[in-house]
């Protein structure tokens, strides 16, 4: 543990002095393939630790006020990341023994669905941006998909430790709601779907407006917004029928939010010009500002309480795995 603190301190000093340069922060992390820990027969290298640690460093740089504070935060983070890697090895071993050895094979669709979610939600469906991220983190596609597979397996195994929600009494849910009412205040929100039309190189705005008016006519004749979005929209959510989910006013630009929040539930807008693009909005549903009633947040509270209980169960389970395993630290 002494060596661990020493390495963390050296890294912190190097990173903090370059706090304004994110790339140099990444470059300063350990890159040699030395051993960070051994778990059973599996070696965790410095390179594996660096890959998981590097994306978290900029947040520390923003939070730390002094070099000493940054050193302490980095040392703690490095320890947490290494423990997560150790737990992942133990969970994968448990999965192998309990499921794979008995013939279970996890469907490939689990990983593919996870990959699609990451690409859409974290990279706005921009594959070039995603590939730049992989390059920056030192992953190739095969390694990244393996990492996603392990994440899915970890989620499956942790879910096995979850207690049934049936043991959550109505009184416990009511108590949590009354003690945390402010937590359930929400701004006015709308469930937004949209179609975005952008001009091609030689297309002028008049031609684009003709397409927009054609879409409006099809909507008014009863065609589904989702199908028209899939057909016409040039937005990253077109494959989801233009669905952007629940949003607040501040989530979208002013030219669109004013129209969106003035529409009735189920209504759609006329074409809205924003620079060279045209937008057609639909409001699937809406919620007024205020503290949500218990009936609307009961499932959310059950989830919170169940998650708390699940964390307690998972912590106990992980601790039992660690106690049975051979673990040796080299940091």
Residue 169 lies in a domain: no
> pLDDT, tens digit, for every residue of 103-153?
888 888 999 999 999 999 888 889 999 999 888 888 899 999 998 999 999
Identify the CATH number of the domain in which residue 203 sits.
Answer: 3.10.50.40
Residue 182 lies in a domain: no
Residue range of the domain that includes 213: 188-288
User: Could you give the number of structural domains in the chain?
Assistant: 2
Residues 57-80 have a mean pLDDT of 88
Per-residue pLDDT, 85: 94
Cβ atoms 90, 150 nearer than 8 A? no
Do residues 46 and 125 both lie within one domain? yes
Residue 269 lies in a domain: yes
pLDDT of residue 14 exceeding 70, the answer is no
* Rounded Cα distance, 14 and 55, in Å: 16
Per-residue pLDDT, 56: 87
Do residues 126 and 268 both lie within one domain? no
Transcribe 122-181 into DSSP letters: HHTT-HHHHHHHHHHHT--HHHHHHHHHHHHHHHHHHHTTPPPGGG--HHHHHHHHHHTG
Per-residue pLDDT, 20: 40
Do residues 97 and 231 both lie within one domain? no
Residue 171 lies in a domain: no
Do residues 125 and 202 both lie within one domain? no
Residue 295 lies in a domain: no
> pLDDT, tens digit, for every residue of 274-284?
988 999 999 99
Do residues 8 and 79 both lie within one domain? yes
pLDDT-derived band at 57, boundaries 50, 70, 90: confident
Residue where the block lists tokens 């009863």: 222
Containing H/E element for 55? none
pTM of the model: 0.53
> pLDDT, tens digit, for every residue of 145-169?
998 999 999 888 887 766 544 567 8
Identify the CATH number of the domain in which residue 137 sits.
Answer: 1.10.4030.10
Per-residue pLDDT, 59: 86
Do residues 153 and 261 both lie within one domain? no
Residue 252 lies in a domain: yes
> pLDDT, tens digit, for every residue of 165-206?
456 788 889 999 999 999 999 889 999 999 999 988 777 888
* Rounded Cα distance, 294 and 131, in Å: 44
Per-residue pLDDT, 28: 46
Do residues 117 and 213 both lie within one domain? no
Cβ atoms 237, 226 nearer than 8 A? no
Per-residue pLDDT, 164: 46
- Strand partners of residue 44: 37
pLDDT-derived band at 43, boundaries 50, 70, 90: very high
The pair of structure tokens assigned to 295 is: 């009936």
Per-residue pLDDT, 272: 95
Do residues 45 and 100 both lie within one domain? yes
Pick the more confident residue, 271 or 155. Answer: 271
Do residues 254 and 113 both lie within one domain? no
Residues with Cβ within 8 Å of 53's Cβ and at least 6 positions away in sequence, in order, are 29, 77, 78, 81
> pLDDT, tens digit, for every residue of 194-248?
999 998 877 788 889 999 999 999 999 999 999 999 999 999 899 999 999 999 9
């Amino acid at each position: 543990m002494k060596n661990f603190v020493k390495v963390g301190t050296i890294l912190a000093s190097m990173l903090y002095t370059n706090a304004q340069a994110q790339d140099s922060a990444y470059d300063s992390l350990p890159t040699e393939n030395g051993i960070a820990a051994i778990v059973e027969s599996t070696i965790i290298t410095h390179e594996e630790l660096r890959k998981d640690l590097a994306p978290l460093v900029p947040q520390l740089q923003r939070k730390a006020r002094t070099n000493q504070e940054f050193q302490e935060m980095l040392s703690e983070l490095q320890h947490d990341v290494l423990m997560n890697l150790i737990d992942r090895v133990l969970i994968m071993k448990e999965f192998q023994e309990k499921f794979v050895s008995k013939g279970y094979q996890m469907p490939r669709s689990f990983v593919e669905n996870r990959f699609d979610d990451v690409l859409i939600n974290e990279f706005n469906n921009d594959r070039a941006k995603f590939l730049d991220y992989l390059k920056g983190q030192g992953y190739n596609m095969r390694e990244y998909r393996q990492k996603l597979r392990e994440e899915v397996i970890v989620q499956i195994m942790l879910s096995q430790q979850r207690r049934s929600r049936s043991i959550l009494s109505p009184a416990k849910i009511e108590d949590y709601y009354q003690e945390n009412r402010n937590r359930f205040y929400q701004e006015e929100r709308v469930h937004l779907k949209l179609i975005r039309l952008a001009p091609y190189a030689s297309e002028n705005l008049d031609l684009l407006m003709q397409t927009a008016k054609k879409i409006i006519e099809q909507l008014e004749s009863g065609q589904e917004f989702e199908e028209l979005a899939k057909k016409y929209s040039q937005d990253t959510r077109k494959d989801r029928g233009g669905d952007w989910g629940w949003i607040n006013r501040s989530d979208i630009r002013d030219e669109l939010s004013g129209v969106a929040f003035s529409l009735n539930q189920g209504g759609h807008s006329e074409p809205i010009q924003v620079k060279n693009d045209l937008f057609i909005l639909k409001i699937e549903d809406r919620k007024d500002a205020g503290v949500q009633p218990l009936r609307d947040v009961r499932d959310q509270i059950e989830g919170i309480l169940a998650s708390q209980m699940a964390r307690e169960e998972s912590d106990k389970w992980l601790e039992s795995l660690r106690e049975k395993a051979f673990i040796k630290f080299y940091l």
